[in-house]
Amino acid sequence: MKLLKPVLFSAVAATILSSCGGSSEILSTPVENVDTVPLKVSELTQAEKENWGHLDLIKDTIPGMSVDKAYSEIIKDKKGKKVIVAVIDSGIDIEHEDLDGVVWTNEDEIPGNGKDDDNNGYIDDIHGWNFLGDAYDEQLEYVRILASGDTSNPEYDRAKAEYDEEYQKTLGQKTQYEQIYQQIKNADEAVAKHLNKEDYTPEDVNGINAEGNETLTQAVGMLKYMYGNGFDSTDKALSAVKEGVEYFSDKLNYNINKEFNGRKTGDNPNDLNDVGYGNGNVMPSEKGESHGTHVAGIIAAERNNGLGANGVANNVEIMSLRAVPNGDEYDKDIALAIRYAVDNGAKVINGSFGKYYSPHSDWVRDAIAYASKNDVVFVNAAGNEGIDLDVKAVYPNDQVDNGPEVGDTFITVGALAPKYGANMVAGFSNYGKINVDIFAPGAKVYSTTPENEYDTKGGTSMAAPAVAGVAALIRSYFPKLTAAQVKQVILDSGLALKTQVVVGGDASNVKPIADLSKSTKIANAYNALILASQL
């Protein structure tokens, strides 16, 4: 199929953007109309917090993607085409009340008969495939390099230096969180005893006169500090800190433990031809394995059904590919998962994962090129270390040393926070004029979690599925557009801002948001559908 070359397409898109009028008004032109938007000074309502990524910058002064506006003014009663979106992630709770109606089913496979009915190499792959088998915890890639004992590996010395630093740092962080947990617990007990009630409020604490009582003074100070950090109850604070303790404990016990080996699939992870491992169970291995379910909900949680969250896209079927453990993913699993998605009908792939060592990165790049050649959009999370990806490579990516891209359908997404202005780029988000394509809502995103629950999470892991949802919308309502055109529509139709923003969470590091990505823009579903309609 003949494709418009990117340079030509950009020129065509620019012409359309500058000529649209009437009902096809594009929010991003003229640019001045966006940069004069007043800052949102009031606290977000609960409804806004749970839906901010779908709101509109002009109307709501929140840097969402204008998803609700797109549905009310463009999609309305239009009938779209079903689009399969593959989510390569941890397990997905496909029985969740807000996802059970959008799960992909392999109609060519007979459930539970132990046969590969469709001859695709996977037995009983009804809703996708589980490349991890029964495993969940895993080492980080640089720890696997050390554990191999192969000192001739060109990455060995870098891995050794990083391990020595990271082990001591993690040990200190675990100890610190344990101490904070105990301090909050002690403060809670002291204040509850003083007030003679366990369910006290911040107002109760502020009203305490602790003069002359050093223990009570310290307790009140601790709770006030806790309130100042956004927690309105000790239960919430203790829960959050406990999660931190568990995170650093897991990191020490599994992720950076050179003696730990989590792989249970029986294959050779260094042999790409050793296939057929894993199983058809795409569900999470435990309730805490919630990442994939959260990502799937951002893309496709059933809209307007009266339940917890709305996905960006309707007309979507989610294909679950469990390949991302609690640790670093194996290159082999990712490469095979991408190829599975392409071969089984996915038109969009979401990859909310990444790492900084990749011994078989060529396998993954070959798979990315395969997706591009087969008309599949791959949406990728930029990563959460607040660094410039033009300087430090993250994997997966679609190029080597900032060189030519292996395909033209790979989109890397940075994360926005729910406040327009200097702090609208999430402090954790990676960026890069060459290697990040666009920014989208990624901080404090409300979505589905296992066992019919919902939660707020943040990361570029949440920004990528927002854009994957936009890609699915375009592919649903404008199915004649190629994957390369869908990518270019998303990049060209974003809102172009001149805002100066804090980068990497460092208040002394301020740059124009336009310098942080290739497109210079933030994603906008409303604009994207208008531009797609013009093509």
Q: How confident is the model over 25-81, as pLDDT tens digits?
A: 444 433 345 667 788 878 899 999 999 999 999 889 999 999 999 999 999 888 899
**Rounded to whole angstroms, how far apart are CA atoms 403 and 516?**
18
Q: Which of 89, 93, 125, 331 is the catalytic position?
A: 89
**Rounded to whole angstroms, how far apart are CA atoms 410 and 380?**
7
Q: Which of 320, 361, 461, 476 is the catalytic position?
A: 461
Q: Which segments in the chain show pLDDT lower than 70?
A: 1-35
Assess whether 291 carries a catalytic annotation: yes
Start-end of H helices in 71-213: 141-148, 156-195, 202-206
Q: Which residue has the tokens 């809670």?
A: 188
Assess whether 232 carries a catalytic annotation: no
Residue-level pLDDT at 42: 84
Tell me the three state secondary structure of residue 428.
coil
Residue-level pLDDT at 9: 31
As given in the structure block, the two tokens for residue 121 are 């190499």
Residue-level pLDDT at 33: 53
C-beta separation of 469 from 300 below 8 A:
yes
User: To which CATH superfamily is domain 48-138+262-533 assigned?
Assistant: Peptidase S8/S53 domain (3.40.50.200)
Q: How confident is the model over 138-190, as pLDDT tens digits?
A: 999 999 999 999 999 999 999 999 999 999 999 999 999 999 999 999 999 99
Assess whether 249 carries a catalytic annotation: no
Residue 76 CB contacts under 8 Å (≥ 6 apart), including other chains? none
Q: Taking the domains of the chain in order of start, what are their residue ranges? A: 48-138+262-533, 159-254
In order, the DSSP letters of 253-302 are IIIT-TT-----S-S-TT-TT----SBS--S-SSTT--HHHHHHHHHHPP
As given in the structure block, the two tokens for residue 263 are 């792989």
Q: At what angle do helices 460-477 and 291-300 cross, to 10 degrees?
A: 40
Stated pTM of the model: 0.90
Name the amino acid, one letter, at 185: K
Residue 453 CB contacts under 8 Å (≥ 6 apart), including other chains? none
As given in the structure block, the two tokens for residue 175 are 């100890």
**Rounded to whole angstroms, how far apart are CA atoms 28 and 493?**
8
Residue-level pLDDT at 37: 77
Q: Which of 54, 127, 194, 291 is the catalytic position?
A: 291
CA distances (Å), 174 to each of 168, 190, 260, 319, 512, in order?
A: 10, 24, 19, 36, 36
